[in-house]
Structure 1
Amino acid sequence: MSESQFKKAADIIQNLPKDGKIKPTTDDQLYFYKYFKQATIGDVNTTRPGLFDFVGKAKWEAWKGVEGTPKEDSWKLYVEKFIEVLKSVDDEESKKHITEIESA
């Protein structure tokens, strides 16, 4: 996967309508988050959130869990997972997004 495919997939994910057919699960969202952060920033560079910041802590731990993953691998894992999510919906919008990503 290329950086341009990664950027296209990230752009599509960030602009998915809340009430649309394409609905990544919470686990999918965490997966996208950790590989997006790893691909764009690298290893975790912040302190672990506090005890009562459940969402922040889950995100931080997910990102910490992929520490050391090269950005190219992060791009690939991110894009492959998103294409998997799109294929599970199997509608015209999803097919259009797959084509956009593959041609980026």
Structure 2
Amino acid sequence: MGENIDKREKEFWRYVDIANKMPPQTADNMLIAYAYFKQATEGDNDSDRPQQSSNVIQTFKHDAWKRLEGMPQEEAREKYIATIQELLKISEQEDRLPDELKGSE
């Protein structure tokens, strides 16, 4: 089982690398990916909510991650991978995918 977890974790980090090379995505899709990434790498969000008036983007990011509270990190990794796979398909359909990422699913 440990070998399978290691394999899945490597796959997760491969998709993190792919996500960093993808063309810009919608704010909603970026928030979803961010939340799954944070839950997968850090677990539950126990930080204080930022003052909304001070930094709206940080507040949105905090809230997106907080909504995943209680989700196991392994599940968050799987959902992150599925999210990036879906974004790859969308980017490819819109012909916005760099050549280096074509066929990387």
The TM-score with structure 1 as length reference comes to 0.79
Runs of 5+ in structure 1 lacking a partner?
Answer: 99-104
Runs of 5+ in structure 2 lacking a partner?
Answer: 1-6
Q: 1:40-76 CA deviation, whole Å, 9 max, x = no partner? A: 0000121110121101110000000000111111011
Residue identity over aligned pairs, in percent, reads: 34
- What is the rounded CA distance, in whole Å, between the counterparts of 2:74 and 2:8 in structure 1? 8
Aligned twin of 1:74: 76
Two-structure CA RMSD over aligned residues (Å): 1.8
> Which structure has more RCO (C-alpha within 8 Å, separation ≥ 6)?
1
Aligned twin of 1:26: 27
Corresponding pairs, count: 93
In the TM superposition, residue 5 of structure 1 has moved relative to its aligned partner by: 1.1
| Structure of greater Rg | 2
Partner of 1:2: helix, strand, or coil?
helix
Tell me which stretches of 4 or more aligned residues in structure 1 moved more than 2 Å.
89-97
In the TM superposition, residue 4 of structure 1 has moved relative to its aligned partner by: 1.1
Give the letter aligned to residue 35 of structure 1: Y
The TM-score with structure 2 as length reference comes to 0.78
